[in-house]
């Protein structure tokens, strides 16, 4: 490793940079030499089918699984060996697959827990109101148990909870999973709005069409490797991608 | 005289042991190590009070400052052990953690049974009495239980308590929120060890004798039953469970040989009729605010 890199890197370095990242689960290679970057203010999507390694990529970034090779760089600095807690502190928000709201806690408690590491009480209160503004249905149900929300509302809560950590980069793991088409459009609309407000987003999706509609760039993951990458329009026109993932 | 002061002391100690099982469970960790730490507390008290004449003083009664010293030392030893083994052991999940903690209890039991200074199979005798009768123990146990209950009730409202609850519901989601899950789990394990060790110190004096049978696998299951029966989602559950299930075998004495059958039935029927235990947060909410609950828990459309 070049020890001088972090000193001169911040201006030039992408926000997030995966360098030949590999992850193994025992003898199975889940990710092989994945290169990916997200620049500040970008909305990048990571596409692929079940088992392609999309969730593993996000878990490796959050240090929930340890990479077997390569590096995860945040603003140029390697995250090797840091705790998940630190990645959250550094500004990497991870909204995990399957919503995973705390069903026996109220909507408000879920949101407050999203700000667990923060101490700025006035800032937390402001962000809480901002979330309720962004997701009015959560405001109506703030004292209701999260488990009693509909699937769409739970997904909104999961996104709002991740926002409560005030991330620089928001990583979402298949937010469209199991949602009706109308709700998928609503979730994507909210992500596009957050992106317009300046949030950097890494969106993992199986629903390639919905994701490419709002993303500026995308990567396609197949069997643990990046098989295609490019701008959203390039990927939408890609014949191979069209056949396998866009269903034309 | 079924409900005398001695039984009350045992019930209070049972409630403390229930809380010791409950604390890690609050963070989703099924630890059965409580009898191990209880045994450590008991041996600490028994050894200090019988082997060090300086601590025993001149009077007829064992001095209270010496008892306090035992409590502090027992807490330190049990706490140090909990911190040392908690790191690796808490990496295990669910039933595997339970098995590993049973192993800990068994290792300690076999050590206590075979080491010279613990008195071997016969154990330690003539542990001096700090009080003249059971009433002193009753007051002491009551005070300790009240303190631990107060701390547990505080914990449920504190950031740390809410972090435990979050880990219990979904450890991955908790980690994604930035919770240091390993540290929170270790703290809950430490609290459990401290409570059990304190109960062990009081128990050793109260029983007047201590041996390896005090910390056995049977006790792991009995103390777990306190929590399963009483409920594991609020501190009042294990307290009620510990009090009730310690008293029950004694209260059932008139039934004769049938008492263990009835006891078994109660433990069996409890989880069937009350899957979350007798005491749940919802029940407490209902009892306290009968009118508010409709708006807070209205079902989603």
CA distance A79 to B31: 33
pLDDT at residue B8 greater than cutoff 70: yes
Mutate to test the interface with A, among B156, B170, B178 (most CBs of A within 10 A): B178
> Would you place residue A247 in the very low, low, confident or very high pLDDT band (cuts 50, 70, 90)?
low
pLDDT for B266: 86
pLDDT at residue B297 greater than cutoff 60: no
**pLDDT per residue over A97-125, tens digit each?**
998 999 989 999 999 999 999 999 999 99
Nearest residue of chain B to residue A143 (CA atoms): B296
pLDDT at residue A196 greater than cutoff 80: yes
| Nearest CA distance, B170 vs chain A (angstrom) | 7
CA distance A201 to A187: 13
The beta-carbon neighbor of A116 closest among B170, B177, B296 is B177
The beta-carbon neighbor of A145 closest among B159, B179, B297 is B297
Mean pLDDT, to the nearest integer, of A132-159?
A: 94
Alpha carbon separation from A157 to A105, A164, A186, A226, B44 (Å, rounded)? 12, 10, 13, 31, 50
Q: Considering only A77-86, A210-219, B189-198, B275-284, which range has the smallest mean pLDDT? A: B275-284
The C-alpha angle B138, B147, B23, rounded to 5 degrees, equals 110
> Would you place residue A11 in the very low, low, confident or very high pLDDT band (cuts 50, 70, 90)?
low
How distant is the alpha carbon of residue B29 from its chain centre? 14
pLDDT at residue B207 greater than cutoff 90: yes
DSSP β-ladder status, A225-231 and A28-38:
unpaired
Contact B189, B91 (CB under 8 A): no
Of B85, B98, B104, B102, the closest CA to residue B217 belongs to B102
Chain A CB contacts of B300 under 8 Å are 141, 144, 148-150, 153
Contact B220, B21 (CB under 8 A): no
pLDDT for B128: 93
CA distance A237 to A230: 11
The beta-carbon neighbor of A89 closest among B159, B169, B178 is B178
**pLDDT per residue over B148-173, tens digit each?**
999 999 998 899 999 999 999 999 99
pLDDT for B71: 97
Q: What is the mean pLDDT of chain B?
A: 90
pLDDT for B3: 63
**pLDDT per residue over A230-244, tens digit each?**
999 999 988 877 777
Q: Where are the alpha helices (DSSP H) in chain A?
A: 5-8, 54-61, 84-90, 107-114, 121-134, 136-140, 151-163, 181-196, 208-214, 232-237, 239-241
| Residue ranges, CATH 3.40.50.300, chain A | 14-91+169-248
pLDDT at residue B261 greater than cutoff 90: no
Backbone angles phi, psi at A143, to 5 degrees: -95, 0
Structure token digits, residue B208: 């007047």
Q: What is the ipTM of this complex?
A: 0.87
**pLDDT per residue over B58-69, tens digit each?**
888 999 999 999
Contact A116, B179 (CB under 8 A): yes
> Would you place residue A12 in the very low, low, confident or very high pLDDT band (cuts 50, 70, 90)?
low
Q: Count Cβ–Cβ pairs < 8 Å, chain A vs chain B.
A: 72
Structure token digits, residue B99: 């098995």
Nearest residue of chain A to residue B161 (CA atoms): A113
Per DSSP, the three-state class of A152 is helix
**pLDDT per residue over B243-259, tens digit each?**
999 999 888 888 888 88
Say whether B176 and A96 touch across the interface (CB within 8 A).
yes
What pTM did the predictor assign? 0.88
Nearest residue of chain A to residue B171 (CA atoms): A100
> Would you place residue A9 in the very low, low, confident or very high pLDDT band (cuts 50, 70, 90)?
very low
Give the containing element (helix H, strand E) for B82.
helix B64-89
> Would you place residue A3 in the very low, low, confident or very high pLDDT band (cuts 50, 70, 90)?
very low
Of B20, B61, B7, the closest CA to residue B199 belongs to B20
The fold for domain A14-91+169-248 equals Rossmann fold (3.40.50)
Q: What is the mean pLDDT of chain A?
A: 91
């Amino acid at each position: 490793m070049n020890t001088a890199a972090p000193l001169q890197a911040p201006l030039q370095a992408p926000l997030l940079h995966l360098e030949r990242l590999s992850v193994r689960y025992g003898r199975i290679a889940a990710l092989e030499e994945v290169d990916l970057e997200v620049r500040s203010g970008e909305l990048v999507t990571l596409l692929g089918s079940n088992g392609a390694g999309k969730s593993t990529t996000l878990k490796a970034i959050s240090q929930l699984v340890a990479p077997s090779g390569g590096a995860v760089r945040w603003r140029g600095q390697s995250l090797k060996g840091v705790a998940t807690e630190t990645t959250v502190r550094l500004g990497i928000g991870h909204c995990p697959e399957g919503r995973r709201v705390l069903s026996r806690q109220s909507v408000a408690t879920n949101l407050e827990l999203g700000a667990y590491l923060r101490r700025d009480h006035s800032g937390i209160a402001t962000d809480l109101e901002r979330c309720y503004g962004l997701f009015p249905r959560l405001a109506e149900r703030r004292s209701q148990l999260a488990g009693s929300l509909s699937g769409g509302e739970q997904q909104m809560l999961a996104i709002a909870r991740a926002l409560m950590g005030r991330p620089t980069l928001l990583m979402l793991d298949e937010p469209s999973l199991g949602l009706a088409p109308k709700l998928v459009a609503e979730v994507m609309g909210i992500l596009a709005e957050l992106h317009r407000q300046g949030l950097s987003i890494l969106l993992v999706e199986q629903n390639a069409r919905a994701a490419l509609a709002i993303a500026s760039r995308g990567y396609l993951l197949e069997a643990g490797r990046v098989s295609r990458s490019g701008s959203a329009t390039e990927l939408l026109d890609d014949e191979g991608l069209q056949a396998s993932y866009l269903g034309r | 005289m079924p409900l005398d002061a001695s039984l009350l002391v045992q019930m209070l100690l049972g409630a403390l042991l229930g809380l010791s099982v409950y604390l890690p469970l609050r963070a989703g960790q099924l630890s059965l190590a409580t009898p191990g730490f209880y045994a450590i507390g008991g041996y600490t008290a028994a050894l200090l009070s019988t082997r060090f004449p300086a601590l025993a003083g001149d009077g007829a009664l064992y001095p209270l400052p010496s008892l306090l010293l035992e409590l502090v030392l027992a807490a330190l030893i049990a706490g140090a052990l909990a911190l040392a083994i908690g790191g690796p052991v808490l990496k295990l999940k669910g039933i595997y953690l339970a098995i590993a903690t049973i192993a800990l209890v068994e290792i300690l039991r076999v050590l206590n049974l075979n080491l010279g200074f613990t008195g071997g199979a016969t154990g330690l005798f003539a542990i001096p009495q700090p009080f003249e009768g059971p009433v002193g123990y009753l007051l002491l146990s009551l005070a300790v239980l009240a303190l631990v209950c107060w701390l547990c009730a505080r914990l449920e409202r504190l950031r740390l308590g809410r972090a435990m609850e979050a880990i219990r519901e979904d450890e991955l989601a908790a980690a994604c929120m930035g919770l240091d899950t390993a540290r929170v789990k270790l703290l809950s394990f430490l609290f459990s060890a401290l409570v059990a060790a304190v109960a062990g110190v009081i128990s050793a004096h109260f029983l007047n004798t201590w041996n390896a049978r005090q910390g056995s696998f049977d006790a792991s299951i009995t103390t777990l039953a306190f929590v399963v029966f009483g409920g594991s989602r609020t501190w009042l559950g294990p307290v009620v469970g510990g009090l009730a299930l310690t008293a029950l075998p004694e209260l059932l004495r008139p039934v004769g040989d049938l008492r263990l059958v009835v006891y078994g039935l109660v433990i069996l029927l409890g989880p069937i009729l009350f899957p979350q235990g007798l005491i749940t947060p919802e029940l407490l909410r209902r009892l306290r605010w009968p009118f508010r609950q409709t708006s807070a828990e209205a079902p989603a459309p």
